[in-house]
Structure 1
Amino acid sequence: MRITAAVARFASVTRDEVLQDRPHRRVERIGDTVRRPTYPWSPAIHALLQHLEAVGFRYAPRVLGLDEDGREVLTYVEGESGPQGWAKVVDDAGLARFARLLRDYHDAVQDFVPPDGVSWSTGKAGAGDDEVICHGDFGPWNVVWQGGHPVGILDWDYARPASRIHDIVYALEYVAPFRDDAECLRALRYPDPPDRRHRVELFAATYGLTSTSGLVDAVIEVQRDGIEQVRTLADAGMQPQVDWIAEGHLEELEGRISWSQANRHLFE
């Protein structure tokens, strides 16, 4: 599917902006569209986004096709994201909206059946009976906000078949958060050390979980899974995972697991 001439003409006379400029990944805004590189799993992502459009889930970008350079073309979602997203989940209201957004996504994707022949970044194809297609990278940086309200979810490249709990505990690692007080105050926009137990309980209740039992162990397991995913993608020559290993990122990830194990009393 190629981007239509009408969209291309519209984009050429409106705002252009480089959103991300890395050697392996240049992302540009051209008018009301975003141009991103494609990957072997892009057909699966496009099918997922088309399903979300068909069921009326308004928080995902729309797929418009490929441009003349073979880049995927998505609709641009206006708002604050990236580093600004962390501040939006510090208070209870923002955290609850973040959890509700994840629940709404999981409900919207529940009936999605991936097309035959597509695979995800994990290499897995179909979903099991108790699985949905998880976002796979549901963190504050990948949610777009307008004021105090989420309006979009970005960066679907790590979507994969998994149980809902995978996305839940992945998100909890970052919004509980499973980080020490110094990092919360320095980098994550908290004015005071967070009440992590309260935040886990609020997130779980808003999402619709009936218990927080087992969540800490599940977070630690997802942290371990993240290390294996980095290794797998790096072994396949994918960036930025190759650079992450060269830069010692795996040691940082292993340190996070150690911190989670030593401080689980803060969450339970």
Structure 2
Amino acid sequence: MCRFPTGPETVLADDPHRRVVRIGDTVRRPLEPWSDAVHALLDHLAGVGFTESPRFLGVDEQGREVLTAIDGDSGPAGWAPAADPEGLRAMARLLRRYHEAVAGFDPGAHTWAGQQAPAREGDVVCHGDFGPWNLVWRGTEPVGIIDFDYAWPQPARHDVCYALEYVAPFRDDAEAVRWLRHPGPPDRRARTAVFAEAYGLEGGAALVEELVTGVIAQQRLVADRTLRLAAEGHQPQRDWLAAGDLDRLADRIAWSEDFASTGSEGFR
């Protein structure tokens, strides 16, 4: 453990299982069983000059990991910029830069949250939770990626489809407007096309339908990961399971399946 400056703490997240605080220019977070893997990933990103991720500085005297802070808006404040078309494009471009930066990192020497099988050829370490809340925004520009706890080896498209679930979004119109800050009912296929193009994928209408199918596949994969973490006793997944909250995952998958089969927005 290292000695780090102390001072007033600004609480960034405080729930029964995790308290995250900011002290000066650092963020202090509790360690997880997979933290060593995440720290190696962050060290790699720093080494290749990827500036949009925190730097791992060490472990403080209270046993918390210490990361550099990235100034900007995050958490619930990320929904509005991600709903904006410019924010949507910028988010896709940032994800592509991350995948390019992580391409040379070997995931096989580490254990990742929810990992069930060894990394396959062609996998990269996906962020695993690449949603608007885990980005740091300045206006409609995401300037940082935070919270790598669920990083794990998967094909890069897993991150693309995970993000699309939340930014297309694969939610009904009422939730998209009320909670996700869309100005009106979103054209999900058109937004999927915008994100894909900004990321660097090509394929027109066929690609969009492929990504719609991919969103459902990643929803199932993430649901399985959540159940595994709960069964292993990890929090907050264990409490989610006990409270019946994981039933919502099945409902979301069912909504996406219905959208894939009956969605009428078309491609434009």
1:81 alignment partner, one of 60, 74, 79: 74
Q: Equivalent pairs: percent with the same residue?
A: 54
Do the aligned partners of 1:77 and 1:144 also contact (CA within 8 Å) in 2? yes
Look up the match of 1:131.
123
**Displacement of 1:127:** 3.0
Q: Does 1:95 align with 2:92?
A: no
Look up the match of 2:243.
247
Aligned pairs for 1:29-178 within 5 A = 29-114=22-107, 116=109, 118-124=110-116, 127-178=119-170
The separation in 1 between residues aligned to 2:36 and 2:21, in whole angstroms, is: 20
**Displacement of 1:123:** 3.2
Q: Secondary structure at the match of 1:107?
A: helix
Do the aligned partners of 2:114 and 2:226 also contact (CA within 8 Å) in 1? no
**Displacement of 1:115:** 6.9
Q: Secondary structure at the match of 2:71?
A: coil
1:198 alignment partner, one of 190, 201, 208: 190
Q: Secondary structure at the match of 2:226?
A: helix
The 1:66/1:134 distance shift into structure 2, 3 A limit, reads: same
Residue 172 of structure 1 aligns with an amino acid whose one-letter code is L
Do the aligned partners of 1:181 and 1:194 also contact (CA within 8 Å) in 2? yes
Look up the match of 2:225.
229
Q: Secondary structure at the match of 1:21?
A: strand
Residue 124 of structure 2 aligns with an amino acid whose one-letter code is V
Q: Secondary structure at the match of 1:152?
A: strand
1:219 alignment partner, one of 215, 219, 222: 215
**Displacement of 1:107:** 0.3
Look up the match of 2:254.
258
Q: Secondary structure at the match of 1:89?
A: helix
Q: Secondary structure at the match of 1:249?
A: coil
Residue 241 of structure 2 aligns with an amino acid whose one-letter code is I
* Cα-to-partner distance string for 1:2-55 (whole Å, 9 max, x where unaligned): 33x4xx23xx35x52111111211111111111111111111100000000011
What TM-score comes out, normalization by structure 2 length?
0.93
Runs (5+) with no aligned partner, structure 2: none
Q: Secondary structure at the match of 1:79?
A: coil
Worse-superposed segment, 221-230 or 98-107: 221-230
The 1:125/1:33 distance shift into structure 2, 3 A limit, reads: farther
How many residue pairs get aligned? The number is 260
Residue 221 of structure 1 aligns with an amino acid whose one-letter code is A
The separation in 1 between residues aligned to 2:112 and 2:216, in whole angstroms, is: 23
* Cα-to-partner distance string for 1:143-177 (whole Å, 9 max, x where unaligned): 00112211111100000000001100000000000
Residue 184 of structure 2 aligns with an amino acid whose one-letter code is D
Q: Does 1:183 align with 2:175?
A: yes
* Cα-to-partner distance string for 1:36-81 (whole Å, 9 max, x where unaligned): 1111111110000000001110110000000011111001111000
What TM-score comes out, normalization by structure 1 length?
0.93
The separation in 1 between residues aligned to 2:250 and 2:93, in whole angstroms, is: 30
